[in-house]
A and B are shown apart, each in its own frame.
Chain A
Amino acid sequence: MLERRIYLDNAAATRLDERVLEAMEPYFFDTYAVATSEFAYTQGIEAREALDEARGKLTGFLHADPAEFIFTSGSTESSNMVLKGVALALGKKKGKHIIVSKIEDFPVLHSARALESQGFKITYLDVDGEGFVDLDQLRDSISDETILVSIQHANQEIGTIQDIASIGNICHERGVLFHTDATHTFTRVPLDVKKIPVDLITVSAHTIHGPKGIGGLYIRKGTEIAKWMDGGFQEFDLRAGLENVPGAVGFAKAAELVTPAENKRLQAMRDRAIDRILAEIPDTTLNGHRRKRIPHNVNISFHFVEGESITLHLDMHGFAVSTGSACFSRSLQGSHVIYGIGGDHERAHGSIRITLGRYNTMEEVDAVVQTLAEVVQELRKISPLGKKNREEED
């Protein structure tokens, strides 16, 4: 077996930072009491304080009030709560129309589909070749029946950062709630709720070297959203369930550990990977915008070869990456994001996503580019596609 394992799939999950674990530990072994037992015993008060402190730190990144943020089990739950909670609160009162983009991640997309089967009307906005939603189409799609617009801050696969300020303005001019899924941007791309008209923001710890199973939802004061998870009165009576205090503490610590310098370093690695691959490997296409993309995302299609074969070969060389190929997906369908930006089957099947994190180095970037070049060349030799192009070059 290989000794060296280089993990380059940080958009899917990240290695926990030791300092996060260290911050969490006391809340497993000492202060494990229920945070809502503050009126009963001291440990409860300590747990409550830890939870509030974590909430305060996290809302600080968004320039929001701590009373506008609830903890959830992660971004899937947050997005489910937004779509279904707003539908419950406003579906009867205001209307049954919701607008999302075609390239949203599955929690938003599949929640929208679930609502569609319950009689809601969903508009799936088109995106252009780089993944940006069409603002005119958004403007034209909003009607008096529209209760929510949900458009991600940045895309999970191709990293394109949407112009959420303009999107938010369009929504607010028409009095429509705006949700953005910031799973892949929180602490990596600034988002200030004082400046950007956004009502709901989904965030998660698993993408920033925090623990899995903890996320959050920013809910602007006055936003109409129904409680969806019933039970106790936790989280301002918006989300029932025992508070995950160690998770919350870990999330806050993880967010604090992300620095502008780190984001700059990730961006330098990203740029190096993109520039080298496009320059050194023929028949490649960058997916997403060259600059308006999150600092840690690289997504490139390698023509004439299939992504699962690339990922498997890379794994044999010790590299972990992801692909938008149908062979790799649970539904046997190619990436809806690549199709969304106008890509054909071949571009989807040959797409490789590299996402960088704190523990990656420039040497690793150079190593994966080198190995990719070799693997793609070998696979092209056995592919029946694209031979003509290459023979002409030879």
Chain B
Amino acid sequence: MKFPYSETVLEHFRHPRNVGKIDNPDGKSMEGSPACGDMVAVYIKVDPKTNKISDIKFESYGCASNIATGSIITELAKGKTLDEAKKITWKQASDALGGLPKIKAHCSVLAIEGLRSAIVNYEERHGLVKVKTPTTVEVIRKRLKKVMNPISGLDLVRTNLVKDIELKDGSVRVVIDLPAKHQFAPAIKEEVMEKIEPLWDVKEVLIEFTE
């Protein structure tokens, strides 16, 4: 029996690359919260001529998979154009780390979110984004794709745990196809809230379970 983490994960955990802050970054982000147990901050420097990420650093408050994923995405993103870096997926990061335990998917996906948000932050600051888009059921569904199902390590939408999404006058109702007594129900509820609540035109979020 070995640790549930691969050698590469443990190596990055022990010696994380590109750790720290960048003073006066061109883009920065902070994803997660102490509530879900993990946070990642990402800082980027962008070369405006080539649109490439010239420097990237991260900070992590989290478990081994969170730290290791933060470390690996900085390696994957450095030197890439913003468009290339935006397309880096959790799967790519996980593969580069030699795999991550399913139950840890939710901690590691934050680093990918962090990278993308730092790029969006750069684009916003440099007038590269369009106007705010209103929330739709599709927008919510897309956000729920970022909440991981700890049972399988895949997201809630893909694993058919999202039974229903209703949106009416800024009020969102999400039905999760799990009994309320399920081992992971409280954790999933908390994460769904965290993903939907910050949407600019959402006023309240109701999470329901099927039993």
Contact = CB atoms under 8 A, between A and B. Distances in A.
Partners in one complex: yes
Interface of A: 113, 117, 304-306, 308-309, 312, 316, 325-328, 330-334, 344-346, 349, 381-385, 387
A384 B187 contact: no
Contact of B183 (A308, A330, A383): A330
B64 A325 contact: no
Interface string B25-65: 00000100111111111000000000000000001111110
A308 B34 contact: no
B161 to A, nearest CB: 15
Interface in B4-31: 13-14, 16, 19-21, 30
Nearest to A381: B19
Contacts of A316: 14
Interface of B: 13-14, 16, 19-21, 30, 33-41, 59-64, 66-67, 103-104, 106-107, 150, 181, 183-184, 186-187
A345 B37 contact: yes
Most buried by B among A308, A332, A334: A332
Contacts of A117: 181
Contacts of A333: 186-187
A384 B59 contact: yes
Given A306-B37, A312-B13, A325 B63 contact: yes
A387 B61 CA distance: 12
Contact of A327 (B33, B38, B186): B38
A376 to B, nearest CB: 12
30 contacts: A304-B61, A306-B38, A306-B61, A306-B63, A306-B66, A308-B63, A308-B64, A309-B63, A309-B64, A309-B67, A312-B63, A312-B64, A325-B63, A327-B37, A327-B38, A330-B183, A331-B183, A332-B150, A334-B37, A344-B34, A345-B33, A345-B34, A345-B35, A346-B34, A381-B20, A382-B67, A383-B59, A384-B41, A384-B60, A385-B61
Contacts of A334: 37
Given A326-B187, A331-B186, A331-B187, A385 B39 contact: yes
A332 B67 contact: no
B62 A306 contact: yes
Given A331-B183, A383-B60, 6 more contacts: A306-B61, A316-B14, A326-B36, A344-B34, A346-B34, A382-B60
B97 to A, nearest CB: 15
A320 to B, nearest CB: 13
Contacts of B150: 332
Nearest to A110: B181
A113 B14 CA distance: 41
A383 B107 CA distance: 15
Given A326-B36, A334-B37, A384 B61 contact: yes
Most buried by A among B60, B63, B103, B184: B63
A332 B183 CA distance: 8
A305 B34 contact: no
A305 B59 CA distance: 11
Nearest to A327: B63
A349 B14 contact: no
Given A326-B37, A327-B37, A327-B63, A382 B187 contact: no
A332 to B, nearest CB: 4
Contact of A384 (B30, B36, B64, B104): B30
A291 to B, nearest CB: 30
Given A331-B184, A332-B187, A333-B187, A382 B59 contact: yes
